[in-house]
Structure 1
Amino acid sequence: MYRGQTVGVVMPAYDEEGFVGDVIREMPDYVDRIYAIDDRSTDGTWREILEAAREDAGAGADVDSDRDAADETPLLTDGGASALSARATVRDPIGRVVPIQHHENLGAGGAIKTGYLAAREDGVDATVTVDADGQMDLSQMPRLLDPIAEGDADYAKGNRLLSREYRAAMPRFRFVGNAILTFLTKIASGYWKTMDPQNGYTAISGDALEAVDLEGLYEYYGYCNDLLVKLNVQGMRVADVAMPAVYGDEESSITYSQYVPKVSTMLLRNFLWRLKTKYLVLDFHPLALFYLVGAAAAGVGVLGLTLLLGAAFSSLVPAIVGGASSLLLVLAGVAFLLFAMVFDMAESEHLEQQVY
């Protein structure tokens, strides 16, 4: 327990043999529950989770690491017919470790979702997400928990971009990709001050887990971006916490040729859903119309310019006149979009804070 709050840690693991055991052993004493999710690894990750759990609990704990997950009792919720029991099986807790194994590989977002469902079912006050590869400094966990314990935030996330020292430690290709996704996520989520959305070191309150649609959480690597959109629609407060990252022997499993288009498409879909839900369904704000009118005007203007360029040499004067009209449409569209962004920033400004 940390400052009167029960603390759970969700730790997704896929082929993390050689790393996951150390992370479990090094988990701070104030952590009450460790939800270690094996995402159907092909190596010895499951055995290592069980062995580390035994060590963490004490030598007297009874662990049969050869026992298959199919022999375990499903983690039942809602009378046994829940999203959680349908996707995973679980051993009885070994000390504070709850070993969970997916029926099939669901990816990083799927494992986080499983852990969140389990933490919500247990009524944990604050749930932290920690990677199983040892990249995250566990001594920094209180910095994520403090905004929640103090009632200042519903969700706290690490941010490697707030400090020059932290930015310098990040590999260049990760920094560039992160910067692009940061900008896209600002637009999609409405949290315009929040950066480094791909940072997986986070903490979320029990109230926030209850408020968002966990069952509908995106199950690919963009789950953290998707969660921010859902949090914004529910009016949840977010704290951006300066946080270092440790890059060691681990290798990223992200295939960027698939990752970028998938997450970008998801962000566009989420952006439109947020506008509809927050500013048209739950309440009304004209910024939704500014966005729509601006995008339409800019799109028509760009299309007009493209078509007129092809006809410019055959009919120069009409092309110039039409080009001017199309250019005005583009400029008007951009102006509408900028107005919408300014309104959007103002609407969510009170929901954001940065912790250095």
Structure 2
Amino acid sequence: MYRGKTIGVVVTAYNEESFVGEVIETVPQFVDRIYVVDDASPDGCWEVIKRVSSRINDDTAPELAVTDGGENRRVIPIRHEENRGYGAAVKSGYERAVADGIDVVAVMNGDGQMDPEILDRILDPVVAGEADYAKGNRLHNPGDRRGMSTFRFVGNALLTGLSKFSTGYWTMSDPQNGYTAISSEAIEELDLESVTDEYGFLNHLLTHLNVNEFRVADVPMRAVYGDEESSIRYLPFVRFVSLLLLRSFLWRLQTRYVRREFHPTVVFYAAGGVGLVAGAIALVGSAVRSVRGEDGFTASITSVLTVLVGTVSLATAIAMDAEENEDLEVTYDERESTQESELLEG
């Protein structure tokens, strides 16, 4: 238990035979229950999970303040019969944690990239009731992203920009960060079946959190990379997630700004999109006519004005969208979190 809340940690694993055992063993002692989900790994991951879990459960007999069907195990191994994706693994852990009566559920990947010593900082915004969902952010401070390769940084920055449109959390960054914590109330209210099972789960979940008007906190953390090899193929991944974010953006606008209550933001987004596309096409046409020696001055002026109108409309839409969602974003500084914890412990 941590600050009066029961804590569960979902450890996701796929081909993490070399790392998952250490991850399980280093989860802080204040965590009441650990749900280790093997997404049908073809390597020896499941055997490692069973062995380490059995040893921990034999050595500890915690008095857990959770409903667990008579089981008194700290580590709960879960295995998918077939590979279903990262999102499905997280969902399996979430569902079991809620069924067990856990208050706050964190997620740590089985690759050892998430420092267990800062788990309390990830939990703090949710435990304190300041946010419904908290996530790590490796891009907040320049020093924190020192271990991130240029390729990863560029891809992450691209997805961060697209995710701002999709999710409506305009001050958020590093949406791919899987070091997260969420309240059981948020899990129960979300329609998890509608969230993708694939690696775009983290981005898609943020959009669903926004539509349900849940508060999200970014917690600064350092990027950590070891000897593990990622199973993600980055170019197909970026392409897949980009299309997912486009669909999520349109769904968010339709749900929040049209169906639920009409908001002029959607009008400015539409005007901005049409203006930029139409202006760009017109500019290309003007350039072609100029190359042919035809008079395209008037058309060029018109196309430039169309682009300007589109740009202003889009900027207005973004400003209105950000203002509408301002109360859903929690600024959570590492130093504030540490000081608050010290005061509460004192």
Distance 2:328 2:60 in 1: 47
**What is the CA-CA distance between 1:122 and the residue it aligns to?**
2.8
Question: 1:152-178, CA deviations, whole angstroms, 9 ceiling, x for partnerless residues?
Answer: 000000011122221212222211111
Residue 334 of structure 1 corresponds to 311
Distance 1:93 1:303 in 2: 65
Distance 1:163 1:308 in 2: 44
Residue 344 of structure 1 corresponds to 321
Which shifted more, 52-61 or 199-208? 52-61
Which shifted more, 306-315 or 183-192? 306-315
1:39 is aligned to 2:59: no
Distance 2:125 2:282 in 1: 50
Q: Compute the TM-score of the two structures, normalised by the length of structure 2.
A: 0.90
Distance 1:93 1:306 in 2: 68
Distance 2:98 2:224 in 1: 29
Does the residue aligned with 1:148 lie in a helix, a strand or coil? helix
Q: Percent identity?
A: 48
- Contact 1:25-1:55 within 8 A present in 2 as well: no
1:1-356 matched pairs, under 5 angstroms: 1-58=1-58, 95-314=73-292, 316-317=294-295, 319-356=296-333
Does the residue aligned with 1:169 lie in a helix, a strand or coil? coil
Question: 1:270-302, CA deviations, whole angstroms, 9 ceiling, x for partnerless residues?
Answer: 000000101111122100111011101211111
Provide the alpha-carbon RMSD of the alignment: 1.7
Question: 1:232-276, CA deviations, whole angstroms, 9 ceiling, x for partnerless residues?
Answer: 111111111011232111111110121011000000000000001
Does the residue aligned with 1:37 lie in a helix, a strand or coil? strand
Distance 1:226 1:12 in 2: 18
**What is the CA-CA distance between 1:315 and the residue it aligns to?**
6.0
Alignment CA distance shift 1:280-1:44 (3 Å): same
Question: 1:68-100, CA deviations, whole angstroms, 9 ceiling, x for partnerless residues?
Answer: xxxxxxxxxxxxxxxxxxxxxxxx967211211
Structure 2 segments unaligned to the other structure (5+ residues): 62-69, 334-346
Distance 2:81 2:128 in 1: 38
**What is the CA-CA distance between 1:104 and the residue it aligns to?**
1.0
Does the residue aligned with 1:316 lie in a helix, a strand or coil? coil
Which amino acid counterpart does residue 345 of structure 1 have in structure 2?
A
Which amino acid counterpart does residue 187 of structure 2 have in structure 1?
L
Distance 2:199 2:137 in 1: 17
Which amino acid counterpart does residue 101 of structure 1 have in structure 2?
R
Structure 1 segments unaligned to the other structure (5+ residues): 62-91
**What is the CA-CA distance between 1:326 and the residue it aligns to?**
1.5
Distance 1:34 1:55 in 2: 14
Distance 2:223 2:293 in 1: 59
Does the residue aligned with 1:24 lie in a helix, a strand or coil? helix
Which amino acid counterpart does residue 86 of structure 2 have in structure 1?
A
Which shifted more, 163-172 or 173-182? 163-172
- Contact 1:186-1:194 within 8 A present in 2 as well: yes
Distance 1:266 1:28 in 2: 35
